[in-house]
Amino acid sequence: MGADPRFFPARGPLSLAAIAEAAGASLGVDDGRLLAGVAPLTLAGAQDIAFCEGRRHVAALRETRAGAVLVAADAEAAVPAGCVALVVDAPQLAYARVAALFHPRPAPVPGINPTAAIAADATIGAGCEIGPFVVVGAGAEIGPGCILHAHAVVGPGCVLGAGSILRAHASLLHCIAGTGVVLHEGARVGNEGFGFVTTKAGQHVTVPQVGRVLLGDGVEIGANACVDRGAGGDTVLGPGTRLDNLVQVGHNVKTGLGCVIVAQVGIAGSSELGDFVVIAAQAGITGHITLGDGARVGAQAGVMNHVPPGIDVVGSPAWPARETLKAFAWLRRQVAPKGNDKTGGTA
C-alpha cells in the first residue's frame, strides 16, 4: 500500500528503466513491468518499489511483497522471488530520488488570489502562485516561480528568490532570501531578536534590532521554527542549511554550508557554525561560541565552549563524546551495588 492518493497523487505508472535511471542502478533484466508508487517494505505490494538499508531490515526484505526493491549488493540474496532487485550503493538515497520521481514537488499554478494584499510597488515574478490572504509588503521582490500559500507574509523590502515556497502562515521579514528557499507552516524569519538591557531598578530596556536575515540558496526552515534578525549586522543561514520544526536561532547567528539543526534546538545569539555542522534534537548552544566545520552535537547536549572542527560532543556540559562516555562509565561503577557486573547493570 503506497501513499494515499487523496494527498499524494503519484506520477506513474513508471517503467523499471526510468526508475533505475533515477536511482543510479544498473538494470540487468527488464521484464517490462510498471510500478505505480513507493512504499515501505512491510506495506509494499506488487506495484510498489521499496528500499532496504541495514541488517536489521533484512528479515522484512525476505518477506516483502514489493514489485521491486532498492538494495545494497550484500543484501541482494535476501530479495524474494518475483521481486526485482535494483542494486545501488546507498539504498535510502536512491529511494529519495525515486520517491521524488513519483511525487515531484508541485509546480506553481500561476495566479494571484483576489483576497491577497499585494503592495502597489511590490514585484511579483512570472509564474508565481499567490494564495488566499497572502500579504506582500511595499517594495518586496518575489522571484519567478514562487509559491506563497494561504496567509503567508512577505514584509516590506524583502527579497524572495526564484522557485521558493512559503507555506501557510509563514512570515518573512527584514530578509533577503536566495533561490529555492522553503519556509514550512508557521515559520517565522526576521522577527525581533531577544535583545534588552536591564536597569538597576529591574526595568528591561529593548535594544532596537536593526539587522537582517540572509538565507542562502536552498535553505529550508521547519514548521514553527524562528530565526531572529540581527541586532546590528546580519543573521546568516548558509546555502543548503536545514532547520527542523521548532528550532530557535538567535540574532546574529551564522551558519556555513549544509548545516542540519534538528527539532527543539536553541542557538543563542552571535554563535557561528562552520560548514556541515549537525546539531541533534533539544541541544542548546550558548552565545558567542564557534562550532567548527563538521562538528556534531548530540541530543540534549549543552554546548558552552568552542567545538573544534570534526569533533563530536555530548552531555551537559558538552564534552568530546569519548571523554563523556568514559566519565559516565566511571560514575556508574561508583554507584553500582557490590556484586554487579562491570557494566553496573542491575537485574
Catalytic annotation, residues: 251
**Any residues with CB less than 8 A from the CB of 333 and at least 6 apart, and which?**
342, 344
Per DSSP, 67 falls in state S
- Grid cell in block for residue 23: 536511482
Q: How many CA atoms does the CB half-sphere of 160 hold within 13 Å?
A: 34
Distance CA 281, CA 301 (A): 9
Bridge partners for 214 per DSSP: 176, 236
Distance (Å) of CA 84 to CA 14, 116, 251: 14, 50, 52
Distance CA 226, CA 247 (A): 6
- Grid cell in block for residue 51: 528500499
Per-position b or e across 135-148, b if 16+ CB within 10 A of its CB = bbbeebbbbebbbb
